[in-house]
Structure 1
Amino acid sequence: MNMYKQISLCLPLIFCSQFTLADWIDDAAKNTESHAIKLRQHIHQHPELGNMEFKTSELVQKELKSYGIDVRKGYAKTGVIGVLKGGKPGPVMALRADMDALPIEEKTGLPFASKTKAIYQGKETHVMHGCGHDAHTAMLLGAAKALAANKDKIAGTIVFVFQPAEEGGADIDNFTQGSQIGSRKMIADGALNNPKPEVIFGMHVMAGMPSGNIFYKDGAILNSADHLRIQVNGKQVHGSMPWLGRDPIYASSQMISNMQSLVSRRTDLTKGMGVVSIGSIQGGTTGNVIPELVNMVGTIRSNNEDIRQGILKDLPTLIEHNAQANDVTAKVEIAPYAPVTSNDKTLTKLMQPALAQVNGEGKLHVLDSNASASEDFAYYGQLMPSLFIFIGATQSDQDMSKAAPNHSPLFSVDDATLKTGIESHMRFVMEYPKAAAQVQNAWQRQQSPAK
């Protein structure tokens, strides 16, 4: 597959001895696999939209309590925190899963396919776990169950983070109220305050990647995302006499074209990439009337924070000057969704051997480039060293190029994926304490660079 390249690892002897002591992890993951699959299928059949994950939240709380894990709620409306203290002293480590589904009608034909409908932005819609968050929730519950049964072996404390609304809220204006959902709201509500983790780990199942395989890279692994709205006001007039009006459609077409120059002519592309896309443009009602108003909605993406900030700074000025040149007015609104999701380089390097132990070095792969999508996991990574990985979710005997992608009504997750996710969570928290000092020292130097 040309989307990734295999990594070859030379494991230090110290890691070999550690893994000999930790061989129980594979057995523990296998023992909880069937339970996690049942949980995932139940959650998949009963999906809930962002900010509305009430029953999913109740299920998570019930499961965690049954494992003997301390459960806390009251974060980001439906968010749940579980706290497990290990039998040995050590760092506080966080594992995160998202719980929300999408406003999509499922067409997989699975026996546990969703038939659920709910209200999204004031309108009834079908609901489907079309991005794999059902698997994320089940995998983290599986890891929690296995770790709780072996807490005497854990050095430190584990914080299990079950987050709502990663895809946005069903009941709010995500453009103007984005800070009130997802990871930003979990953080604002103090979900990570007591105890306060020093490191966090997350993952995402991906179609088109074979199950049993893990994909990662250091640095940027997912793009930033910022929402864009532009309102252009002109003067309505008959289409046969444009000189008597001011054409917002013509002005908008220039704006769309000129916004591309922010990347092609104003961005240092040696640093990374940027994208400005308009996905919706609405104006006018008939062919022979130049309208008064045009509305545009779009997205801004980048894998480099300097590039992102340059576009955010220059775009409003460019639109304003385009408007002046066409004698119209324009209102520009930009709302952040997420910064670049970036893996801490030291943490990523030191966790490579742990991830290689999940299914073997042959199934651990370094990505050539970051994914183009975005994730609000990025906000956790601004607070502490973080590592985000991709887990292959398509049956390995299928043609990867023909797998229905995430967010498709045909998207599905191979059940075999779950054990990989469960064990990855477990390996991370079992091996991180041995690398904690080195990771934290590098993080502190990064946060306080020499002057």
Structure 2
Amino acid sequence: MKKLLTPLFCFVVLATSAQTTSLKKTVNTKADALKDKVIAWRRDFHEHPELGNHEVRTADIIAKHLQSLGIEAKTGVATTGVVGVLKGGLPGPVVALRADMDGLPVTERVNLPFASKVKTQYNGQEVGVMHACGHDSHMAILMGVAEVLSSMKKDLHGTVKFIFQPAEEGAPVGEKGGAEEMVKQGVMENPKVDVIFGLHINSQTEVGKITYKPGGTMAGVSDLQIIVKGRSAHGAYPWSSVDPVVVSAQIISSLQSIVSRNINVTENPAVVTIGVINGGSRFNIIPESVKMQGTLRYFTDADEKLITANVKRIAIKTAEAYGAQAEVLIPYSNKYPVTFNDEALTAKMLPTLAATAGKENVILRPPVTGAEDFSFYQQKVPGIFFFLGGMPKGGNALTAPSHHTPDFYLDESGFTLGVKALCNLTLDYMAGKGK
């Protein structure tokens, strides 16, 4: 029997490989033809950004596009998420592809004809809204992928699940949302997902390049809140007070010793940052309390526990030393696991990225202390999260505006590579699984 099966097996493999090669040629042609359409989608999203759990207009555009392609689309997932299911004509695995949808409370400063002028309320304040992290490009790219793959539906060896996710930047305080909520609502089931791929545009990586890292690629994150309670007094009579401003200053300074004196940074990076400090209402009144908020970043469970314990100890004991009290809440509203690229899957799919972008343009990168809730999907199935260049050619990564800033800018010519990369990862995984 072996002598009969072996040549038949080889024939099936060769036929599958030849078919995949043909499909990938189609991907190149169709992705190039979609370039202007993808850019137009991105510009529309950019001009009309919406904050997390409020992506109503955005979701409607995405759902209608998927439905126009004959893709079954479910809306209202985890508040405003959209999930499309494309069933191929041939049996095979279920490949999930994900894009995030939310903008940020940032007022745009870039002089573009499609710059955001949107204003809204956020945490009780009027703020501008901007796609200052590139989620507009992620959605446009995945819409392009959906159009390409749906056109070859009968030749697909498996099913593609398109996940358009709200609130990646974190749901508003008191609300649920993001990848964690989508997983809880069953996005990885019915049909059950085998593998997931995602990308993130990067404004400080040259267009045409892809960067990646096996294993821990983006940090785990917990936000924190510290409230220091003292005793109020007239600013002219500080000896009558227990000054929470002075105590808070001491706490902030002491927190910096956690990474510099407790974490082995030669093995894994870590970050302790206080980004918000609020207290007082007048220059000559020592307030009764001060509220601080910040973020912790880490790459191992051990480092997370160590950092969390030390933040609590330093804040509480420092406050006690000054006669004050400190309340510490970690996490305060959000916590994401480490974004971990399955090492075996990364090794398997790396040739696909190299063939798509050119081997010289696929670059191993160090871990990133930014965080991503894509990690919740990777806790369920193997996944790869990679970075797509969005900086103009010849730009300086050190001076290019970074993400989450009013001057964030993307070179749109790199979007087509994103469409091709996600399509080819899907096709090659399906072909490899079939073998």
TM-score, scaled to structure 1: 0.86
Question: Aligned letter for 1:47?
Answer: P
Question: Residue in 1 aligned with 2:275?
Answer: 279
Which of 326, 346, 349 is matched with 2:347 structurally?
Answer: 349
**Alpha-carbon displacement from aligned partner over 1:86-108 (angstroms, at most 9, x marks no partner):** 12211111000011112222222
Change in CA separation of 1:59 and 1:248 when aligned onto 2, cut-off 3 Å: same
Does 2:397 align with 1:395?
no
Does 2:259 align with 1:263?
yes
Q: What is the CA-CA distance between 1:268 and the residue it aligns to?
A: 3.6
Equivalences for 1:183-262 in 2 at 5 Å?
Answer: 183-238=179-234, 242-262=238-258
Q: What is the CA-CA distance between 1:356 and the residue it aligns to?
A: 0.8
Question: Residue in 2 aligned with 1:441?
Answer: none
Taking the aligned partners of 1:326 and 1:135, their CA distance within structure 2 comes to: 50
Question: Residue in 2 aligned with 1:167?
Answer: 169
Equivalences for 1:36-115 in 2 at 5 Å?
Answer: 36-115=38-117
Taking the aligned partners of 2:117 and 2:324, their CA distance within structure 1 comes to: 48
SS at match of 1:128: coil
Question: Residue in 1 aligned with 2:7?
Answer: none
Decide whether the 8 Å contact of 2:212 with 2:364 is kept in 1. Answer: yes
Question: Residue in 1 aligned with 2:369?
Answer: 372
Q: What is the CA-CA distance between 1:61 and the residue it aligns to?
A: 0.5
Taking the aligned partners of 2:44 and 2:238, their CA distance within structure 1 comes to: 59
Question: Residue in 2 aligned with 1:324?
Answer: 320
Decide whether the 8 Å contact of 2:195 with 2:381 is kept in 1. Answer: yes
SS at match of 2:49: coil
SS at match of 1:100: coil
**Alpha-carbon displacement from aligned partner over 1:267-316 (angstroms, at most 9, x marks no partner):** 34343122111122233445555432122111111233321222123322
Taking the aligned partners of 1:383 and 1:267, their CA distance within structure 2 comes to: 29
Question: Aligned letter for 1:340?
Answer: V
Decide whether the 8 Å contact of 1:350 with 1:435 is kept in 2. Answer: no
> Superposition RMSD on alpha carbons, in Å?
2.4
Taking the aligned partners of 2:109 and 2:277, their CA distance within structure 1 comes to: 29
Taking the aligned partners of 1:404 and 1:320, their CA distance within structure 2 comes to: 37
Change in CA separation of 1:320 and 1:399 when aligned onto 2, cut-off 3 Å: closer
Taking the aligned partners of 2:236 and 2:398, their CA distance within structure 1 comes to: 50
Question: Aligned letter for 2:162?
Answer: F
Does 2:338 align with 1:340?
yes
Decide whether the 8 Å contact of 1:208 with 1:404 is kept in 2. Answer: yes
**Alpha-carbon displacement from aligned partner over 1:191-238 (angstroms, at most 9, x marks no partner):** 222112121111111112111111111112112221111111122345
Question: Aligned letter for 2:390?
Answer: A
Change in CA separation of 1:191 and 1:354 when aligned onto 2, cut-off 3 Å: same
In structure 2, runs of 5+ residues without a counterpart are 1-12
Change in CA separation of 1:274 and 1:61 when aligned onto 2, cut-off 3 Å: same
**Alpha-carbon displacement from aligned partner over 1:169-211 (angstroms, at most 9, x marks no partner):** 4xx32xx54xx01111211222222112121111111112111
SS at match of 1:416: helix
Taking the aligned partners of 2:102 and 2:283, their CA distance within structure 1 comes to: 42
Question: Residue in 2 aligned with 1:430?
Answer: 427
Moved more, 126-135 or 281-290: 281-290
Change in CA separation of 1:397 and 1:319 when aligned onto 2, cut-off 3 Å: closer
SS at match of 2:369: coil
In structure 1, runs of 5+ residues without a counterpart are 1-12, 439-451
Taking the aligned partners of 2:213 and 2:80, their CA distance within structure 1 comes to: 31
Taking the aligned partners of 1:129 and 1:181, their CA distance within structure 2 comes to: 18
Does 2:312 align with 1:310?
no
Taking the aligned partners of 1:416 and 1:225, their CA distance within structure 2 comes to: 32
Question: Aligned letter for 2:305?
Answer: Q
Decide whether the 8 Å contact of 2:20 with 2:431 is kept in 1. Answer: no
Question: Residue in 1 aligned with 2:415?
Answer: 418
Question: Residue in 1 aligned with 2:293?
Answer: 297
Taking the aligned partners of 2:398 and 2:249, their CA distance within structure 1 comes to: 35
Taking the aligned partners of 2:40 and 2:249, their CA distance within structure 1 comes to: 51
Taking the aligned partners of 2:101 and 2:76, their CA distance within structure 1 comes to: 15
Change in CA separation of 1:247 and 1:158 when aligned onto 2, cut-off 3 Å: same
Taking the aligned partners of 2:126 and 2:154, their CA distance within structure 1 comes to: 48
Taking the aligned partners of 2:432 and 2:392, their CA distance within structure 1 comes to: 34
Decide whether the 8 Å contact of 1:273 with 1:304 is kept in 2. Answer: no
SS at match of 1:206: strand
Q: What is the CA-CA distance between 1:416 and the residue it aligns to?
A: 1.2
Q: What is the CA-CA distance between 1:437 and the residue it aligns to?
A: 8.9
Taking the aligned partners of 1:260 and 1:405, their CA distance within structure 2 comes to: 24
Decide whether the 8 Å contact of 2:345 with 2:382 is kept in 1. Answer: yes
**Identity %, equivalent residues:** 39
Q: What is the CA-CA distance between 1:434 and the residue it aligns to?
A: 4.2
TM-score, scaled to structure 2: 0.89
Taking the aligned partners of 2:166 and 2:86, their CA distance within structure 1 comes to: 21
Question: Aligned letter for 1:98?
Answer: D
Q: What is the CA-CA distance between 1:371 and the residue it aligns to?
A: 1.8
Q: What is the CA-CA distance between 1:263 and the residue it aligns to?
A: 2.2
